[in-house]
Amino acid sequence: MEKNGSIVPAEFPELKNETFLRAAQGEQTEYTPVWCMRQAGRYLPEFRETRAAQDFFATCRSPEMCCELTLQPLWRFPLDAAIIFSDILVVPQWTLMSYMIEGGGSNTMAKAKAWLYRHPEASHRLLTLLTDVIVDYLVGQVAAGAQGGTEEGRGLKVAPMLQALQLFESHAGHLGPEQFAEFALPSIRSIAKRVKNKLLEDALPAVPMIIFAKDAHYALEDLAQSGYEVVGLDWTICPQDARQRTGKDITLQGNLDPCALYAPKEKIGELVKKMLEGFGSQRYIANLGHGLYPDICPEHVGAFVDAVHIHSRHLNKCS
Amino acid sequence: MEKNGSIVPAEFPELKNETFLRAAQGEQTEYTPVWCMRQAGRYLPEFRETRAAQDFFATCRSPEMCCELTLQPLWRFPLDAAIIFSDILVVPQWTLMSYMIEGGGSNTMAKAKAWLYRHPEASHRLLTLLTDVIVDYLVGQVAAGAQGGTEEGRGLKVAPMLQALQLFESHAGHLGPEQFAEFALPSIRSIAKRVKNKLLEDALPAVPMIIFAKDAHYALEDLAQSGYEVVGLDWTICPQDARQRTGKDITLQGNLDPCALYAPKEKIGELVKKMLEGFGSQRYIANLGHGLYPDICPEHVGAFVDAVHIHSRHLNKCS
C-alpha cells in the first residue's frame, strides 16, 4: 500500500516470491511454501491493537486497515502467502445455507440438515442462488486484486494482491457422504468451473483455486477431481493416505493440528519434519489443518514456518 | 421390574430375543437387530413426563425410574436392545479427561489438546488412572446387571438386564491420527482386555463389547483389532468402505445420519435399504450414526426400526 493512501499504484512491482503459486500450479519449488489459516488474527498483539481501534465492519470497510492487518504476519514471519483480511474473502458456501437456516451457529446443524432431507428441491434451488452470488463475488475479488498493491516502507512488495482463491466448506462433517455428494459437491464443482470461465471471458488473470472442505475425509477422491488446483486437508487425514487417495496430479495443502503449536518448539520441528516426509516436499503447500487459535504464541508460529522451510530444503537436497 | 419394587427377582426369565447378542457375537441372525443411541430420550413425550417429575440425579438414583425410562422405547417399538438409563453407563473415556481439563464443553478442546502436546507423560498417567476407574465401573455394571430384572405387567421380559457394554470416545474428531494412536487407542485396548479378564476372574458372564469412537474414520482398521466384538460407526463412514477396511471378522454397528429421521417415512425406508445393502444383513447391528435428537418424531423412529426388520428379512431371503 502506498503511503499516500491509494491502493492502486500506477505500476505493479515484480512479484518477489512465487513459491506458493508455483506449488499450487504443480511446478517444482526450491522449498515448500507455507502459510497459516487465520495468520492475520488475534494471536498477534499488533492485530488486537489495530482491531481494538474501531469496530469490525469499519475495519472491513477500510482498505488501509485491511492492508495493515494482512501484512502484519508477513512482517514477523517469512510466510509465502498473504491472506487478505476480509470477513468473507474466504466464502463459506454450503456453510452459508446452514447459517441462513439455523439463524446462527449450532452444534449439530440439525435444522439445516432437516431442511435438506425434507425439501431437497428447494435446497438445490437455494444452493444454486448462493452459487451465483459466490461466483460473482470471487470474480469481483480477482478483478479488484489484480489492481495490485505495494507496501514500500517496510521491505515488502505484495502485488498483485490476489493470487489465489480458497473456498471453505466448513460443515462437511455434518453432512455424510451422500448429502455431501448430493448438495455440496455440485456447487463446489460449479464454482470452480464458472469462476475460471468468467476470468477467461473478462480477460482477468487465471488464479489457482484451493478447496478446503473440513472433515470431508470421505470425499477426498472427489475433491481431487473437482476442478481445483489444490486440496486443503484437516488434521484428521494422514498425509500418506491423502497422497495415495488423491493421486500425483494435485497439490495438497495442510494439515498440522493447530494445537500442535502449543507444544515446545523442538516438538513442533519434529512434527513438521514428519508431516513433510508424509506429503513429500513437492506439490505441497504447508499449512495448519485449521485456523490459528487466539492463544497460540506467535513465536511458535515462527517455529512452524521456519521448520517447514528448513526441513523441505533438506528433503529436496536429499532426494 | 416386578411391581413389588424389587429389581432382583428370585429367578431370571428366559431371554426372549437374543438377535442383538447373536449379531454382536458374529452368529447368523434371521433379521438385522436394531437399536438407537439415546432411544430412552427426550424425543418421547412419556420420557419428558417421567423426567419432569423429579431432578436428574434423583432419577439416576431411582432404580424404578431408570427401569421405566429404559423400557419406554421398547413399549413403543420392536427394538432389539434396551439401553439402561444412566448418566455414565456409557462411559466417556478419553472424553472424561477432556472435560476435566476444559472444565466444561468446548468447540475445539484446545486446552485439553494443549495439555496432551505439552505434558504427554502426565497425560498418560491421568489416562491410566481413568482407565482403572472405568474398568472397575464396567465390571461393576456387569455384576449388577447379571442380577437381572423382569418387567411382567406389560408383556416384556428383560433379563439379564446387562447384555453388552458400549464404550464411547466422543472426541476422536478433535484428535488426529497420531494423538489418537498415542493417547486414546492404548486405553481403549486396555479397557477391553482388562474388563474381559476381570469378568472371567470373577466368574461373571462374558459380555460382547462395542467401541464407538465418533469421527475416528482414520482409525477404523485399528479399532477393528482393538479387542471389541463390535465397532460402531458415525454417519460419515460409507458402509462399503467400512466393511472393506475392517474385514469380515467383526460386527459393525451404525450408521444412519440421525437427521435422516426428519425425512418423510418413505425416504427413511429407502435410506435404510441402501444402508443394509451396504453393510450386508449379517454381522451387522443397525443403529444411527449418533444419538436421537429431541425433536425427532417418534413415528419416524418406528419407521426406521420397522424398515430395518423388513428389509433385512428380505435381504436374507434373497441371499
Domains of chain A: 19-318 (3.20.20.210)
Q: How confident is the model at residue A245 (pLDDT cuts 50, 70, 90)?
A: very high
The number of C-beta contacts closer than 8 angstroms across A and B is 78
Question: Please, what is the average pLDDT of chain B?
Answer: 83
Q: Which pLDDT score is estimated for A59?
A: 77
Q: How confident is the model at residue A102 (pLDDT cuts 50, 70, 90)?
A: low
A32 in Cβ contact with A172 (< 8 Å): no
CA distance B45 to chain A (A): 20
From A22, A31, A43, A51, the catalytic residue = A51
The CA distance from A285 to A54, in Å, is 34
Compute the average pLDDT of residues B129-158. Answer: 65
Q: Which pLDDT score is estimated for B8?
A: 33
Q: Which pLDDT score is estimated for B106?
A: 59
Nearest CB among A218, A258, A263 relative to B236 is that of A218
Q: How confident is the model at residue A133 (pLDDT cuts 50, 70, 90)?
A: confident
Compute the average pLDDT of residues A287-295. Answer: 94
A74 pLDDT above the threshold of 60: yes
Q: Which pLDDT score is estimated for B152?
A: 40
CA distance B228 to chain A (A): 23
In DSSP terms, which residues pair with B254 in a beta bridge? B286
ipTM metric: 0.78
* Contact across the interface for A293 and B108, Cβ inside 8 Å: yes
Question: Please, what is the average pLDDT of chain A?
Answer: 83
Total residue length of chain B = 319
Q: Which pLDDT score is estimated for B108?
A: 64
Q: Which of B142, B178, B263, B287 is nearest to A236 (CA)?
A: B178
Q: Which pLDDT score is estimated for B174?
A: 86
Torsion A169-A174-A180-A182 (CA) sign: negative
* Contact across the interface for A110 and B259, Cβ inside 8 Å: yes
Looking at per-residue pLDDT, the higher value among B135 and A106 belongs to B135
Q: Which pLDDT score is estimated for B95?
A: 59
The CA distance from B305 to B285, in Å, is 11
Most B CBs within 10 A among A119, A233, A259, A267, hence the mutation to make, goes to A259
Q: Which pLDDT score is estimated for A107?
A: 61
Provide the 3-class DSSP secondary structure of residue B211. Answer: strand
A61 has catalytic annotation: no
User: Which residue's C-alpha cell is 433379563?
Assistant: B159
Compute the average pLDDT of residues B22-42. Answer: 94
Among A79-93, A294-308, B91-105, the range of highest mean pLDDT? A294-308
* Contact across the interface for A262 and B215, Cβ inside 8 Å: no
A51 pLDDT above the threshold of 80: yes
Q: How confident is the model at residue A99 (pLDDT cuts 50, 70, 90)?
A: low
Nearest CB among A117, A236, A238 relative to B259 is that of A117
Most A CBs within 10 A among B113, B178, B217, B236, hence the mutation to make, goes to B236
Closest residue on chain A to B171 (Cα): A236
A87 has catalytic annotation: yes
Nearest CB among B110, B218, B293 relative to A259 is that of B110
A83 pLDDT above the threshold of 90: no
- Per residue in B88-110, pLDDT (tens digit) is 444 444 755 555 555 455 566 77
Q: Does A238 touch chain B (CB under 8 A)?
A: yes
Q: Which pLDDT score is estimated for B100?
A: 54
Q: Which pLDDT score is estimated for B146?
A: 55
CA distance B218 to chain A (A): 7
Q: How confident is the model at residue A141 (pLDDT cuts 50, 70, 90)?
A: confident
Q: Which residues of B are catalytic?
A: 38, 42, 51, 87, 99
First to last CA, chain A: 40
Lowest-pLDDT choice from A177-181, A286-290, A291-295, B13-17: B13-17
Closest residue on chain B to A259 (Cα): B114
Q: Which pLDDT score is estimated for B156?
A: 40
The CA distance from A62 to A74, in Å, is 19
Compute the average pLDDT of residues B9-18. Answer: 54
Q: Which pLDDT score is estimated for B53?
A: 80
CA distance A115 to chain B (A): 8
Q: How confident is the model at residue B163 (pLDDT cuts 50, 70, 90)?
A: confident
Looking at per-residue pLDDT, the higher value among A9 and B278 belongs to B278
Q: Which amino acid is at A57?
A: F
* Contact across the interface for B176 and A257, Cβ inside 8 Å: yes
What secondary structure, in 3-state letters, does chain A show? Answer: CCCCCCCCCCCCCCCCCCHHHHHHCCCCCCCCCECCCCCCCCCCHHHHHHHHCCCHHHHHHCHHHHHHHHHHHHHHCCCCCCCCCCCCCCCECHHHHHHHHHCCCCCCCHHHHHHHHHCHHHHHHHHHHHHHHHHHHHHHHHHHHCCCCCECCCCECCCCCCCCEEEEECCCCCCCHHHHHHHHHHHHHHHHHHHHHHHHHCCCCCCCEEEEECCCHHHHHHHHCCCCCEEECCCCCCHHHHHHHHCCCCEEEEEECHHHHHCCHHHHHHHHHHHHHHHCCCCEEEEECCCCCCCCCHHHHHHHHHHHHHHHHHHHHHC
Q: Does A267 touch chain B (CB under 8 A)?
A: yes
Q: Which pLDDT score is estimated for B158?
A: 42
Lowest-pLDDT choice from A15-19, A266-270, B173-177, B217-221: A15-19
Looking at per-residue pLDDT, the higher value among B97 and B297 belongs to B297
Q: Does A108 touch chain B (CB under 8 A)?
A: yes
Percent of chain B with pLDDT over 90: 54
Q: Which pLDDT score is estimated for B130?
A: 80
Strand ranges (DSSP E) for chain B?
165-169, 209-213, 230-232, 251-256, 284-288
Percent of chain A with pLDDT over 70: 82
Lowest-pLDDT choice from B26-30, B116-120, B239-243: B116-120
* Contact across the interface for B118 and A264, Cβ inside 8 Å: yes
Q: Which of A76, A3, A85 is nearest to A51 (CA)?
A: A85
B1 pLDDT above the threshold of 50: no
Q: Does an H or E element contain A168, and which? A: strand A165-169
Compute the average pLDDT of residues A96-105. Answer: 53
A96 pLDDT above the threshold of 60: no
A76 pLDDT above the threshold of 90: yes
A194 has catalytic annotation: no
A229 pLDDT above the threshold of 60: yes
Closest residue on chain B to A242 (Cα): B218
Q: Find chain B residues with C-beta within 8 A of A263's C-beta.
A: 117-118
CA distance A10 to chain B (A): 45
Q: Does B238 touch chain A (CB under 8 A)?
A: yes
Looking at per-residue pLDDT, the higher value among A134 and A262 belongs to A262
B70 in Cβ contact with B78 (< 8 Å): no
Lowest-pLDDT choice from B148-157, B175-184, B289-298: B148-157
